Amino acid sequence: MEVFQSPAVIALVIFTSSVLLALFERRRQRRRQALQNGCDLPPRYKAKEPFWAFDFTMKLFGDVHTMAENMQKYGKTFIVESLFSAPIIFTADAQNMPAMASKDWGNGWRRQGFEQFTGRGILTEDGEMWHQARKMIRPGFAKSNISEMSYYESVVEDFIKHLPVGRTVDIQPLFIKTASLNFMNNALHWTIGFDAMNPPKDAPYSRDEFLKLWDQGVMGTGLRLMLGSMKFLLPDKSFNRVCDSIRSFVDYHIERAMKRNDTQEPKRFVDAFISESDDRSFIRNHLIQGIIGAQDTTSVLMSNTIHFLARRPELWKELREEVLSKGDDIFSFDSLRTNTFMQNIFSESLRLRPVFPAFQRRSLRATTLPTGGGPDGTAPIYCPADTDLHLSFYALHRDPRVFGPDVEEFNPQRWKTIKPTQFEYIPFGVGPRNCLGREKSLVEAAWMLARLAREFERVEGRGSGKWQGVMKISCANKFGCEVAFFSSTRGQDGTNP
């Protein structure tokens, strides 16, 4: 009995009771407010750590499949509450997805994670600043600009030339960040005009130095997004140095773009901005944010797709036959964009493993979600201003009523018969904020896939074959993508025998 008389134990009991009472009272007030507006609260996720629900966040960012597991346990919509952070509503209900396109919801929440690295731009802003940036960016994605593939073709050819043959290779880092020419090179060329094959000698950093800085910047931003209001736990001094270095590299290329006269060349991303604005910070911020999208989307999509195909030899055989039957004619923007077989492969890959498995929005004013509240999950949900909403595409894409009973199977053939609505399948966003680079990414991925299929008779999966999506800014496999490519015309060193 003496232990229960200890001041420390008494203080702990009082503290714990206070926390539980505070959470109870907060939820009671929210429910009263919801009922007053003809709504109800969604089911509550029971976090083990009550202050920030940090256990939930760590599990979610460490394994994206947690999204689907939570939906099976709590329903398509539920709420995560904690003492020191705002509640977050999680939903995978297609009826709630139009919130993405609604003016009642915005992206300003991203600012606390992105701003140190990217500054303020189209990914972090709402209202007039977002509209202005969107208007400037749109011409950069005109077909006349994105259909010129000569530089990208050289990137792909160099990539394939250096690809090991007949032995195990983790192709995921090759796609994303190796020193060989890769998607990052193409992203830098398209956004800021940096040519990794002929780099300027007076640039502040070499490509490899920049890639190292970039990896540190993306990692630091991902951690800050994950921690949210707890990002103060991370050291800022070294991260700020990294961000300053990245800004100086981009500033250098903005200056070069302003000086060159290349009106006969396809417009790059940087050109869209310098023709409309002389605000260097505004231009730089959007270019850094543009590099994020241009790099990750295609590279992660390709890694995930190869991971599937390496374990489905019959699909690789069919893909190779398709590519060989078309000859060189397949290597054009329009042919790749309209090739049903390859685009169905990518649709299925993005269904099961979306590059961006969720979007988060914050309510700009008091609003409602149409469904997910109450004991049966059918009542509308009242959302006061500054409510955070997490839209889970990873779980949304696993609805058997839309995609069939075999939702966990990689089956590109299903796309011959299914017709999901724009709110049932969301690989690139929807509404006014949809991804402008969708066609660019899909055609680049198709070009790479077609060249791999033409070059290699088969590809084998190696390693454990496990896939566990880890969320940073995009979502890639924790275990990489170990495969082996085989060709009868090339030796193991990649040369012709």
Q: In the numeric block, which tokens belong to residue 166?
A: 């007949």
* Distant-in-sequence, close-in-space partners of 218: CB < 8 Å, separation ≥ 6: 117, 292, 472, 473
Q: For residue 427, how many C-alpha atoms fall within 13 Å in the half-sphere facing its CB? A: 22
Where residue 327 falls (left for φ over 0; alpha for ψ -120 to 50; beta otherwise) is: left
* Distant-in-sequence, close-in-space partners of 195: CB < 8 Å, separation ≥ 6: 151, 189
Per-residue pLDDT 10s for the chain (497 aa) are: 455 566 766 666 666 676 667 666 667 787 788 888 899 999 999 888 888 888 998 899 999 999 999 999 999 999 998 877 788 999 999 999 998 788 899 887 788 888 899 999 888 888 888 888 888 888 778 888 788 888 889 888 988 988 999 999 999 988 865 433 456 777 788 888 887 777 888 889 988 888 889 889 988 888 887 777 777 778 889 999 999 999 999 999 999 888 875 555 556 788 878 888 888 899 999 899 888 877 678 889 999 999 999 999 999 999 999 999 999 999 999 999 999 999 999 999 999 999 999 988 999 999 999 999 999 999 999 999 989 999 999 999 999 999 999 999 999 999 999 999 999 999 998 888 888 889 999 999 999 999 999 999 999 999 999 999 998 778 999 999 999 999 988 765 544 44
Closest to 392 (Cα-Cα) out of 99, 113, 130: 99
C-alpha distance across the termini of the chain, in Å: 82
pTM higher than 0.85, yes or no?
yes
- Residues forming a β-bridge with 469: 477
CA distance 134 to 129: 9
The pLDDT, as a whole number, for residue 181 is 46
Contact assessment for residue 263 and residue 145, using Cβ atoms and an 8 Å cutoff: no
Q: What is each CA distance from 124 to 306, 362, 365, in whole angstroms?
A: 32, 11, 17
Report the SS3 class of residue 201. Answer: coil
Closest to 438 (Cα-Cα) out of 417, 422, 453, 451: 422
CA distance 407 to 354: 14
Residue ranges of the alpha helices (H) in 162-265?
Answer: 171-176, 183-192, 207-227, 237-259
Q: What is each CA distance from 387 to 135, 140, 186, 319, 461, in whole angstroms?
A: 28, 34, 38, 46, 43
CA distance 243 to 326: 46
Contact assessment for residue 270 and residue 280, using Cβ atoms and an 8 Å cutoff: no
- Residues forming a β-bridge with 486: 458
Contact assessment for residue 82 and residue 50, using Cβ atoms and an 8 Å cutoff: yes
Report the SS3 class of residue 465. Answer: coil
Residue at 162: amino acid letter: H
The pLDDT, as a whole number, for residue 110 is 82
Contact assessment for residue 423 and residue 430, using Cβ atoms and an 8 Å cutoff: yes
Exposed, middle or buried: residue 33 (CB in 10 Å: 0-12, 13-18, 19+)? middle
**Other beta carbons less than 10 A from residue 460's beta carbon:** 15
Q: In the numeric block, which tokens belong to residue 479?
A: 């275990």
The pLDDT, as a whole number, for residue 13 is 67
Contact assessment for residue 158 and residue 180, using Cβ atoms and an 8 Å cutoff: yes
Contact assessment for residue 119 and residue 284, using Cβ atoms and an 8 Å cutoff: yes
